[in-house]
Structure 1
Amino acid sequence: MATIFTKIINREIPAQIISEDEHHIAFLDIMPLVKGHVLVVPKKEVDYIFNMEPNELAGLHLFAQQVAKAMDRTIKCTRIGVAVIGLEVPHVHIHLVPLRTMDDINFTRPKLKLTAEELAEVADTIRGGF
């Protein structure tokens, strides 16, 4: 059964896509820790990041770096935090989180509930950084 991320990749469900290439996609988390929280995902469905082939893992991180640099250019923050948890969705994903404080990347905090308009505005802002 396809994961929710595969459904986003296949455009079966909507998402605010920030960037994509042949092998990767980046989109806004709909339940973000902070505004601008992005998920970077390989298009190939793999459950555990350390089960990826070395070249695929490297490619994912290089793609994430491009997205993080665009975020850095467009979002007011101290830096972009990176986390790989991998428990919620059985599809590898890297969290890129704009940080102002250490608490911004605390996954036990309640998630934000942004409107579709707020998500679209944030996505447009980040896309402007490429």
Structure 2
Amino acid sequence: MNDLSNCVFCRIVAGSEPASVIFEDDRLIAFMGIRPIRPGECMVIPKRHIDHFTDIDDETSQRIILVAQHIGRRIREVFKPQRVGMIVHGYGVPHAHLILVPQHDPYDITSARLAYLENGGISFGMKNLPFTDRVILDKHAQLLRIDNGSIR
């Protein structure tokens, strides 16, 4: 059962939270990240609330990778990054998700843009990453949209 009160991804699945959707079927939804490292960053999640990625059943995890491959190819066509990284780190939102990051240099995947100086040391966090306007996210989602029928 999805816990709509505590999980922003479950609220997106339910339609009570906005999202710039790239792909959706009966098991998955893919949408743009609201604080991307680079334009085109997005994620693929199971619709069912699952906290740990390793708890996703094999069939659904295979589907996530397949959908991510198709979206990754669109990211390469549209945003022209050198690479498209895929990350499962398990933090941020406690709902399993695979993040796709357009990489324009080798440090994008290690999130160099998350580093900042604080109290004489290097810290990491999202405080310096701006939120992206919904109009831009919707435009990027439209550019990356893939046809549900094209994925078997």
Percent identity among equivalent residues? 29
Give 1:114's match in structure 2, choosing from 117, 129, 132. Answer: 132
> Aligned AA for 2:93?
V
Instruction: Describe how 1:1-130 pairs up with structure 2 within 5 A.
Output: 1-2=3-4, 3-107=7-111, 109=114, 110-127=128-145
Shift of 1:36: 0.7
- RMSD after superposition: 1.6
Query: What SS is found at the alignment partner of 1:98?
Result: strand
Equivalences, count: 129
- Give the stretch that moved more between structures: 71-80 or 113-122: 113-122
Relative to structure 1, the CA distance from residue 124 to residue 87 in structure 2 (aligned partners, 3 Å threshold; closer, same or farther) is same
CA contact (8 A) 1:33 1:112 kept: no
Counterparts of 2:65 and 2:130, CA distance in 1: 26
CA contact (8 A) 1:16 1:27 kept: yes
Query: What SS is found at the alignment partner of 2:108?
Result: helix
Counterparts of 1:51 and 1:120, CA distance in 2: 31
Structure 1 spans left out of the alignment, 5+ residues: none
> Aligned AA for 1:124?
Q
CA contact (8 A) 1:34 1:112 kept: no
Q: Which has the higher contact order (CA 8 A, sep 6+)?
A: 1
TM-score, normalisation: structure 2: 0.77
TM-score, normalisation: structure 1: 0.89
Structure 2 spans left out of the alignment, 5+ residues: 115-127, 148-152
Counterparts of 2:57 and 2:139, CA distance in 1: 35
Shift of 1:90: 1.1
CA contact (8 A) 2:87 2:98 kept: yes
Counterparts of 1:60 and 1:120, CA distance in 2: 21
Shift of 1:111: 2.4
